[in-house]
Amino acid sequence: MGHRIFLAGGSGAIGRRLIPLLVGAGHRVAATTRQSGKVDELRALGADPVLLDVFDAAGLHDAVASAKPEIVIHQLTDLPPGLDPARMGEAIARNARIREEGTRNLVAAAKSAGARRLVAQSIAWAYAPGPEPHDEADPLDGGAEGNRGITVGGVIALETAVLGTPRLEGIVLRYGNLYGLGTGADAPGGAAPVHVDAAAHAALLAIDHGKPGAFNVAEPNAHVSTRKAVAELGWSAGFRLPA
């Protein structure tokens, strides 16, 4: 049986791969974008497009209320195309703001609208130094400084809001380093890579599977353990959308 789903960040790299999966599974999807030029693309993918900015708390509240979702999915980021190194410095602060203020607004809107579950994008490289592979119970690197401190601070704020809101089932997907269509990387890289299609599939699975909590989502690697996602979500790192 399909659900009503509100997807924040429908025009991002994961969002564009996730919408066909959601629609194909029988769900009705309202998907957001900040760019008017992306509205037709979202409609063509099968979603009901919603043009808004997550920092507009009142507008977001109204949009989520109108969609009446059972499930809210948070795939919002603010990163330059291809993760352009020349632009990443300024993007780090913007992305942290989305994770903190944007998530706070989205959680409030989801709770007000009566959503049952919220599935949110996080990252798998925010763990504090310690024995590897890290599992989901290991602490995040709250003592980090500089740009890493900004990034991890945003992640901690996001995860705290998603996992700590009463009467809202919070699922945090700690994605590894994305590669594949729309990510700016054609091949796996970093300590814990994950293909964008497999990342999107984890979000689809998290709608109906898994107890509230965090899940590492990455290909087999020495940095993080993904046994929990495989066991509880039924996730496979080898998933790919049809060409």
CATH number of the CATH domain containing 161: 3.40.50.720
Quick one: how many helices (H) and strands (E) in the chain? Answer: 8, 9
From first to last of its 243 residues, the chain has per-residue pLDDT tens of: 799 999 999 999 999 999 999 999 999 999 999 999 999 999 999 999 999 999 999 999 999 999 999 999 999 998 655 555 555 667 899 999 999 999 999 999 999 999 999 999 999 999 999 999 999 999 999 999 999 999 999 999 999 999 999 999 999 999 999 999 999 899 999 999 999 999 999 999 999 999 999 999 999 999 999 999 999 999 999 999 997
By residue range, what is the domain housing residue 97?
4-233
Distance CA 236, CA 47 (A): 25
Q: pTM value?
A: 0.96
Residue 76 lies in a domain: yes
Decide the pairing of beta strands 213-217 and 117-123.
Answer: unpaired
Residue 238 lies in a domain: no
CA distances 9 to 186, 187, 230, 234, Å, are 22, 23, 25, 24
Residue 241 lies in a domain: no
| Number of folded domains that form the chain | 1
Sign of the dihedral through C-alpha 89, 94, 100, 106: negative
